[in-house]
């Protein structure tokens, strides 16, 4: 439940938000632009319309970033000809007054939404390409005057305030409920009128409100400014992944996700889990992956890649000419696809299993996608996405991320069989390793991790994805590539540690230790290579369960494997052997 102060900004209906189709707290990416003329949808008189100068645009970007850094909302700039959920410009507002009756310095529209009554209740969706989100500053005060909107000057404070309105926040002193009068100031919120003209930061309630509406952090995303494609990736949790009015590339990965393409021709990939994919307007491609998935193509000519396990009777192609591809279905598979809004169905046949990454590649090629795409990643560096458009490789596509210094940070490779690999690089030399590789199965389970250390050694960690009696193991190798240790962790809590001496620096060649679920050592086998043929192996057991009359017992073997002697310590403190 939000605090009383937050409710003073959001009100109680809480529908004026960019994620209105999803639960409160869902992260979102919002586009913005700087119009050079009055938008066609704006039927109001805007005398003296003026575009922002380049300096003023930079101040606006900074103000947007101030809000974005505080919560799970991110902003990407697009050309005005393409769109912009938030559009910032100026016009002459002489004679218009603000909430206290003074000359207006600027104003911003709340996000707009539209409602659909279905099944006895209302569903809400974001209204794109309308007045919702637009900001108009007063050109009398700020038109062509760069310094008037610089950080630390009143115009910048106005920008911060108006952006707050475009994110769905009201004045704390208006409407219902209102804020505690002692909190009606900039220490708590820039939505207050009681703030210094030099205000450049958010108040504590602003931060609380932005995180209440849009979450504490955004999903991983990148934006290809050349092709105007937004990519967003979910996590292992169940979540909502929301698109924009642009072409979006949205992936849920693990978890039971809801993925909304909104406007634009989008690519939606569910990944693991029972996912719901909503294409919205545009010609969309949707791929379910593992799990029982549902699809709604919306308007446009859509392509849906499903398998026989998906909930096809809970799916619809929507408007337009839609095609349903069903992979992994038996040869006699039957589905009344036309009754569910699909115009064409293609059945893969017995034994056919299009992996999700391969299906994404097909959708990319069918959508006219190129072999290489360049975009900006979440750290501000470059992302290079390589698609195997000629089917010459074993992978469907790969994503290569570089930091702003041009150093490779991470490489993610998505293979034709549905598995994937993530390679990471220590660009800042802050870790003891310089690179690592993680392998994942078709179901998204991590199967192996390989870590390469600065000193030339490496470690391989394996994870049981096939139902073995062990859960994980770790193998250590020296700089010469020789295995020096193996640790196996069993499902019952016991473990085994094996060490080798490939460099012959000790008087033994192998030590094997066994531990019970409580961490007690129960057995150790040591093979010696120091030339003592009468003591080639010692096999020691410890009576940690007190089932014997001895505390430990050692069996000594010679070089031909014969027992030389058995000795140890009794429970009463005497020795034997």
Q: What is the dihedral of CA 364, 368, 374, 375, to 10 degrees?
A: -70
- pLDDT at residue 387, as a whole number: 86
Each of the 577 residues of the chain gets a pLDDT tens digit; together they read: 899 999 999 999 999 999 999 999 999 999 999 999 999 999 999 999 999 999 999 999 999 999 999 999 999 999 999 889 999 999 999 999 998 899 999 999 999 999 988 888 888 999 999 999 999 999 999 999 999 999 999 999 999 999 999 999 999 999 999 999 999 999 999 999 999 999 999 999 999 999 999 999 988 888 888 888 898 988 888 999 999 999 998 988 888 999 999 998 898 988 888 999 999 999 998 988 778 899 999 999 998 988 778 898 999 999 999 988 887 666 567 788 899 999 988 776 333 334 556 666 666 665 566 788 887 877 788 989 998 887 788 888 899 999 999 999 999 998 877 788 999 999 999 999 999 999 988 767 899 999 999 999 999 999 998 899 999 999 999 999 999 999 999 999 999 999 999 999 999 999 999 999 999 999 999 999 999 999 999 999 999 999 999 999 999 999 999 999 999 999 999 999 8
- pLDDT at residue 350, as a whole number: 33
Helix residue ranges, H only, 34-173: 54-68, 139-142, 154-166
The phi-psi region of residue 147 (left if phi > 0; otherwise alpha if psi is between -120 and 50; otherwise beta) is alpha
The phi-psi region of residue 430 (left if phi > 0; otherwise alpha if psi is between -120 and 50; otherwise beta) is alpha
Q: Give dist(CA 87, CA 256) in Å, integer.
A: 34
- pLDDT at residue 189, as a whole number: 98
CATH number of 418-576: 3.90.930
DSSP state of 316: B
Locate 331 and state its tokens. Answer: 């040869």
Whether the bond into 367 is cis, omega within 30 of 0: no
Locate 12 and state its tokens. Answer: 């109680």
- pLDDT at residue 329, as a whole number: 65
Strand partners, 20: none
Q: Give dist(CA 200, CA 1) in Å, integer.
A: 28
Locate 516 and state its tokens. Answer: 């019970």
Q: Give dist(CA 129, CA 537) in Å, integer.
A: 79
- pLDDT at residue 513, as a whole number: 98
Integer CA distances (angstroms), 155 to 61, 118, 194, 489, in order: 14, 44, 15, 62
3-state secondary structure 478-540: CCCCCEEEEEEEECCCCEEEEEECCCCCCCEEEEEEEECCCCCEEEEEEEECCCCCCCCEEEE
Q: Give dist(CA 332, CA 309) in Å, integer.
A: 15
Contacts made by residues 528-536, CB under 8 angstroms, sequence distance 24+: 529/501, 529/504, 533/558, 533/559, 534/558, 534/559, 534/564, 535/564, 536/561
CA-based torsion, 205, 60, 31, 374: positive or negative: negative
3-state secondary structure of 159: helix
> How many Cβ atoms are within 10 Å of 471's Cβ, its own excluded?
15
pTM of the model: 0.65
Nearest to 35 by CA among 97, 95, 70, 85: 85
3-state secondary structure of 221: strand
Q: What is the dihedral of CA 138, 141, 143, 144, to 10 degrees?
A: -160
Q: Give dist(CA 143, CA 446) in Å, integer.
A: 56
- Backbone φ and ψ of 529, nearest 5°: -130, 30
> What distance lies between CA 95 and its chain's CA centroid?
47
Q: Give dist(CA 381, CA 409) in Å, integer.
A: 9
> How many Cβ atoms are within 10 Å of 222's Cβ, its own excluded?
24
Cβ distance 444 to 271 under 8 Å?
Answer: yes
Cβ distance 261 to 268 under 8 Å?
Answer: yes
- pLDDT at residue 310, as a whole number: 86
> How many Cβ atoms are within 10 Å of 423's Cβ, its own excluded?
17
Nearest to 293 by CA among 242, 252, 350: 252
Q: Give dist(CA 123, CA 120) in Å, integer.
A: 10
79 burial level (CB within 10 Å; 0-12, 13-18, 19+): exposed
Any idea which architecture 4-214 has in CATH? 3-Layer(aba) Sandwich (3.40)
- Backbone φ and ψ of 179, nearest 5°: -85, 155
What DSSP string describes 32-61? EE--SS--TT--S--TT-BPPPHHHHHHHH
Q: What does the chain come to in residues?
A: 577
50 burial level (CB within 10 Å; 0-12, 13-18, 19+): buried
Nearest to 240 by CA among 211, 263, 219, 210: 219
Q: What is the dihedral of CA 410, 413, 419, 421, to 10 degrees?
A: -30
DSSP state of 260: E
Token match 């309308």: residue? 130
The full set of domain ranges for the chain reads: 4-214, 220-372, 418-576
**Side-chain-side CA neighbours of residue 557 (13 Å):** 14
């Amino acid at each position: 439940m939000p605090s009383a102060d937050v409710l003073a900004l959001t009100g109680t209906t809480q529908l004026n938000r960019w994620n209105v189709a999803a639960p409160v707290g869902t992260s979102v990416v919002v586009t913005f632009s700087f119009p050079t003329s009055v938008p066609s949808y704006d039927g109001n008189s805007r005398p003296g319309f003026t575009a922002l100068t380049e300096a003023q645009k930079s101040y606006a970007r900074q103000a947007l970033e101030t809000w974005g850094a505080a919560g799970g909302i991110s902003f990407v700039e697009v050309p005005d000809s393409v769109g912009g959920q938030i559009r910032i410009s100026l016009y002459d507002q002489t004679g218009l007054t603000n909430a206290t009756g003074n000359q207006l310095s600027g104003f911003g529209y709340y996000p707009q939404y539209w409602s659909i009554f279905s099944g006895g209740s209302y569903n809400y969706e974001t209204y794109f390409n309308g007045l919702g989100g637009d900001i108009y500053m007063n050109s009398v005060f700020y038109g062509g005057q760069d310094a008037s909107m610089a950080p630390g000057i009143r115009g910048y404070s106005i920008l911060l305030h108006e952006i707050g309105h475009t994110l769905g926040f009201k004045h704390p002193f208006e409407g219902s409920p209102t804020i505690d009068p002692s909190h009606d100031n900039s220490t708590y919120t820039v939505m207050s009128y009681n703030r210094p003209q030099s205000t450049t930061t958010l108040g504590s309630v602003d931060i609380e409100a932005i995180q209440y509406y849009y979450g504490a952090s955004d999903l991983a995303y990148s934006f290809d400014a050349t092709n105007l494609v937004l990519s967003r990736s979910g996590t292992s949790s169940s979540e909502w992944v929301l698109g924009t009015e642009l072409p979006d590339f949205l992936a849920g990965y693990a978890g039971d996700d809801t993925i909304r393409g909104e406007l634009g021709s989008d690519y939606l990939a569910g990944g693991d889990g029972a996912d719901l994919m909503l294409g919205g307007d545009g010609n969309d491609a949707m791929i379910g992956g593992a799990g029982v998935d549902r699809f709604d193509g919306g308007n446009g000519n859509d392509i849906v890649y499903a398998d026989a396990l998906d909930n096809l009777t809970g799916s619809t192609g929507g408007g337009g000419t839609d095609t349903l591809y069903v992979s992994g279905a038996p040869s006699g598979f039957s589905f009344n696809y036309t009754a569910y809004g699909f115009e064409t169905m293609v059945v893969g046949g017995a034994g056919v299993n299009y992996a999700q990454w391969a299906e994404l590649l097909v959708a990319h090629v069918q959508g006219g996608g190129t072999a290489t795409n360049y975009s900006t990643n979440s750290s501000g560096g470059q992302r290079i996405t390589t698609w195997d458009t000629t089917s010459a490789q074993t992978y469907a596509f790969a994503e290569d991320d570089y930091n702003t210094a041009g150093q490779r940070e991470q490489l993610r490779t998505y293979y034709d069989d549905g598995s994937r690999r993530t390679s990471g690089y220590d660009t800042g030399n802050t870790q003891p390793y310089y690179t690592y590789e993680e392998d994942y199965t078709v179901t998204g389970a991590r199967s192996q991790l390989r870590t390469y250390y600065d000193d030339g050694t490496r470690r391989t960690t394996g994870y049981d994805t096939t139902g073995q009696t062990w859960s994980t193991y770790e193998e250590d190798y020296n700089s010469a590539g020789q295995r020096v240790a193996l640790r196996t962790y069993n499902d019952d809590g016991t473990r085994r540690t094996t060490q080798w001496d490939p460099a012959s620096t000790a008087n033994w060649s192998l030590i094997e230790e066994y531990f019970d679920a409580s961490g007690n050592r129960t057995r150790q086998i040591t093979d010696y290579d120091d030339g003592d043929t009468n003591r080639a192996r010692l096999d020691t057991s410890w009576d940690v369960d007190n089932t014997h009359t001895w505390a430990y017992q050692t069996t000594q073997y010679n070089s031909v494997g014969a027992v030389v002697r058995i000795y140890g310590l009794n429970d009463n403190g005497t020795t034997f052997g």
